[in-house]
Amino acid sequence: MPRVVVLMDGYGSFQADYMNEPGRQQVFADFREVLAQGRGVGVNVVLAADRLGALHTSIQALVSRTLVLRLNDDAQYGMLGLRATGLTAQSPPGRGIDPASRKEIQVAVLGGSPRIDEQARAVERLASTMPRGGPWEAEAIPRMPRVVGSREVPVEVDGLPVLGIDGTTLAARGFDLERPILIAGQAGTGRTGAIAWMATAIRRRYPHRALLHVTQRRTSIGALPAWTASFVGASAGDDLLADWGEVLDRVAEGDSHVVICLENVQDFGASLADATFVQAIKRARRNGHLIIGEADTQGWVTGQLVAEIKGARRGLVLAPESGDAQMLFGVASARMKRAEVPPGRGIWVDAGKVAIVQIPSVDNELSPESGVA
């Protein structure tokens, strides 16, 4: 059986990010299982950490051998059962102690030079001499793309319109039109692009269904080709009811199913003048029509339509902060580092299950007005 060696540098950062982070704990549990059972099936793990305390006690118990290189804190040697090591600040890189034998060691340096750039060139030369396609050559691990175009995803997945790229399978995943959908996130996370994509995805899958866009504010997606009609401005709700009220009062069947996309949903229901529109949207939902609402995360705290859509416990949160998923859906999820998250990256929650997704961009289909939120 060929051996597999897993090398992990900076282990402390991995443990801090995965051990107790909601939504990531299973990854850490799987890694711990590899440490516990891997040797028996030919999988060996090598960890590098800057101090002993970086390893949780449950991980320390699974480490069969330790090599100690020069440490910044002399007290750390005592924690490893070493009293006098002979290692000082002047010890060369790679000098260390094997606690099992108490012998001093020197880690070999490829190229024989202490200079990092020369070591890097020596590694490159070694790599160029190794034949390609050998059993030692591991396949590259794919990563979720930062940008996905609409032409890069299929029209449907298992008969459903495409939501985006799933972070686990790195394949397209679909979404059904059975219950309301919430879209949340801070400014700049891609909320407007997400509602534009969902409308486009539904239009691609169901070309004969009506998609209605409603917003009281200036919008950059009013001219999106996916819309059957777009209602913009202070009277947007009344205008929609004048044209589509009778249709929304009928039970949705087949292509009579209407999709209503509410941009800045918190604006509706803020005044008594919106009462008729709010009640009409509630009836439309009960008749089987789909309601998709978009707002920043704080906008989903209170409101009549907010409660109607939020109650479905289904939707998308882009670049979620700690506690966002708990507040909106009642589930725990991993926090994303905003600086590292591209627009359109977020979590999709449906039936209590959480998945990381990348929402595609609508290629050349946004109106030429101001940028996307």
**Burial degree of 148 (CB within 10 A; 0-12, 13-18, 19+):** buried
Whether residue 134 is contained in a domain is answered as: no
Neighbours of 50 (CB within 10 A): 15
Q: How does residue 367 score in pLDDT terms, banded at 50, 70 and 90?
A: very low
Give which of 131, 186, 217, 168 is closest to 358, Cα–Cα. 168
Kindly state whether residue 368 falls inside one of the protein's structural domains. Answer: no
What is the number of domains present in the chain? 2
Pairing outcome for strands 43-47 and 4-8: parallel
Identify the domain containing residue 192 by its residue range. Answer: 150-358
Mean pLDDT for all residues in the chain: 88
Task: Print burial letters for 176-205: b (CB count within 10 Å at least 16), e (below 16).
Answer: ebebbbbbbbbeebbbbbbbbbbbbbbbbb
Q: Are 87 and 95 in contact (CB under 8 A)?
A: yes
CB 250 within 8 Å of CB 256: yes
What average pLDDT score do residues 221-234 get? 95
**Does residue 141 belong to any structural domain of this protein?**
no
d(CA 25, CA 23): 6
Span 7-52, pLDDT tens digits: 999 999 999 988 887 777 888 999 999 999 998 889 999 999 988 7
Return the structure tokens found at 31: 């890694």
Please report whether residue 310 resides in a domain: yes
What are 262's two structure tokens?
């509410």
**pLDDT of amino acid 364:** 52
Residue 161, amino acid: P
- Give 303's Cβ-side CA count (13 Å radius): 21
Tokens in use for 60? Answer: 């320390």
Greater pLDDT, 302 or 282: 282
H-only helix segments in 130-274? 191-205, 236-248
Highest mean pLDDT: which of 6-20, 99-113, 169-183? 169-183
Q: Are 337 and 345 in contact (CB under 8 A)?
A: no
Greater pLDDT, 368 or 272: 272
Whether residue 365 lies inside any domain: the answer is no
- Give the residue with greater pLDDT, 139 vs 16: 16
pLDDT at 115: 84
Asked which of 25-29, 349-353, 361-365 is least confident by mean pLDDT, the reply is: 361-365
Q: Which residue has the higher pLDDT, 37 or 132?
A: 37
Same domain, 14 and 78: yes
pTM: 0.77
CA distances to 78, 137, 143, 293 from 140, rounded to whole Å, are: 40, 9, 9, 39
pLDDT class of 136 with cuts at 50, 70, 90? low
Residues β-bridged to residue 97 = 68, 104
Q: Are residues 101 and 159 in the same domain?
A: no
- List, for residues 242-260, the tens digit of each pLDDT value: 999 999 999 999 999 999 9
DSSP summary character for residue 184: E
On whether residue 33 sits in a domain, the answer given is yes
Please state the separation of Cα 266 from the chain's center in Å. Answer: 25
**Alpha-carbon torsion, ordered 91, 94, 99, 101, to 10 deg:** -100
- Placement of tokens 């051990």 in the chain: 19
Question: How sure is the predictor about 366, in pLDDT bands with cuts at 50, 70 and 90?
Answer: very low
Q: What is the pLDDT of residue 1?
A: 54
Q: Give the mean pLDDT of 171-184.
A: 96
Question: Residue 14: inside a domain, yes or no?
Answer: yes
Quick one: pLDDT at residue 87? 80
User: What's the chain's length in residues?
Assistant: 373
368 pLDDT band (50/70/90 cuts)? very low
What confidence tens digit (pLDDT) does each residue in 51-104 have?
878 899 999 999 988 888 888 777 778 777 787 777 877 888 788 888 888 888
- Cα angle: 24, vertex 187, 274; to 5 degrees: 110
**Same domain? 238 vs 323:** yes
Which residues contact residue 238 at a Cβ distance below 8 angstroms, ignoring those fewer than 6 apart? 276, 277
- Report how far residue 40's alpha carbon sits from residue 192's, in angstroms, rounded to the nearest whole number: 51
Q: Is the domain of 62 the same as that of 187?
A: no
SS3 content of the chain, % helix, strand, coil (to 5): 35, 20, 45
How far is residue 122's CA from residue 317's CA, in Å, rounded to a whole number? 46
**pLDDT given at position 26:** 85
| 111 and 75 within one domain | yes
Residue type, 358: Q
pLDDT band at 372 (very low <50, low <70, confident <90, very high): very low
Question: What CATH number did the domain enclosing 347 receive?
Answer: 3.40.50.300
Q: Mean pLDDT across the stretch 165-188?
A: 94
Mean per-residue pLDDT for 151-178? 95
Are 158 and 117 in the same domain? no
Whole-number pLDDT of residue 373: 45
Distance CA 84, CA 69 (A): 14
Asked if 187 and 246 sit in the same domain, the reply is yes
